[in-house]
Homo-oligomer: A and B are copies of this chain.
Amino acid sequence: ENPYPFQCSIEDPTKQTKFKGMKSYIAYKLVPSHTGQQVHRRYKHFDWLYGRLAEKFPVISVPHLPEKQATGRFEEDFISKRRKGLAWWMDHMCSHPVLAQCDAFQHFLTCPSTDEKAWKQGKRKAEKDEMVGANFFLTISVPTGPGASLDLQEAESQVDGFKAFTKKMDESALQLNHTANEFARKQVTGFKKEYQKVGHSFKCLSQAFELDQQAFSSGLNQAIAFTAEAYDTIGDLFADQPRQDLDPVMDLLALYQGHLANFPDIIHVQKG
């Protein structure tokens, strides 16, 4: 039974302590679909794995981990955002034909969290791997037979095309990220404020009308007060909106930008 492709969920970030509470950290519950056995991993384990893979695969874009952050590590927003970032990272890893099968990654996914000894052994093995960097090419077998040989010029032109693409893409992603960020900021502050100003003016108007106590105008007064509230609510909706549309787009863009940042080096290696 071919265990590939598989998925791996990352859930339940939980605060844990060691050294009798002297040190706190967040552990995530990972459940790989091809074993069904849950393991617990910390961000620093992800970081170790990333380091190994980036070193081992010079021609593969290993996605960057979600950003490190020194302060506020235990704040709920940060934890939930990091968990989402790690889940996206994991999705990419599991669906990659080479990365998903490599020993270090499988060790990370399957070694029981309680077996400290096995974990250290696997770690040492990965760190001693000599097929890293330039030696990685020794692990690749060149196809033989008719049609298997690459046309050098064709290959070079493809690499150049890809280079132009990643450059333009990097610029576009950067620009979109900047624009979306600015736009989200304006929705949260400017747009909201503008709607509230109009709401406030309608409220004043309805208060003025109430000074003139006429039975027949109470419906109108209520309508004006309701208009004021509607504008206020629209302002709040604008302020809430970026969390629902632009923020996820920007998070995904950040992941993508990570890949794009990897490519210049990879292209350099390819050209070599």
A interface with B by C-beta (< 8 Å):
161-162, 164-165, 168-169, 171-173, 175-176, 178-180, 182-183, 186, 190-191, 194-195, 197-198, 200-202, 204-205, 207-209, 211-212
Contact = CB atoms under 8 A, between A and B. Distances in A.
Given A186-B194, A194-B186, A168 B208 contact: yes
Contacts of A171: 204, 208
A67 to B, nearest CB: 22
Given A173-B205, A191-B191, A205-B173, A168 B198 contact: no
A212 to B, nearest CB: 5
Given A165-B211, A165-B212, A212-B165, A183 B205 contact: no
A164 B209 CA distance: 11
Nearest to A199: B179
Given A183-B194, A194-B183, A194-B186, A168 B211 contact: yes
Given A169-B211, A191-B191, A209-B169, A176 B201 contact: yes
Contact of A164 (B169, B198, B211): B211
Closest 6 CB pairs of A and B: A176-B201, A172-B208, A179-B201, A165-B211, A169-B208, A172-B204
By DSSP majority rule, is chain A's interface helix, strand, loop, or mixed?
A: helix
Given A176-B205, A204-B176, A197 B168 contact: no
Nearest to A211: B165
24 contacts: A162-B212, A164-B211, A165-B208, A165-B212, A168-B211, A171-B204, A172-B205, A173-B205, A175-B201, A175-B204, A176-B201, A176-B202, A179-B197, A179-B198, A179-B200, A180-B201, A182-B194, A182-B197, A183-B195, A183-B197, A183-B198, A186-B194, A190-B190, A191-B191
A201 B191 CA distance: 20
Contacts of A207: 168, 172
Contacts of A186: 194
A261 to B, nearest CB: 15
Contacts of A211: 161, 164-165, 168-169
A180 B168 contact: no
Given A168-B211, A176-B201, A179-B197, 9 more contacts: A161-B211, A168-B207, A168-B208, A172-B205, A175-B201, A176-B198, A176-B204, A179-B201, A183-B194
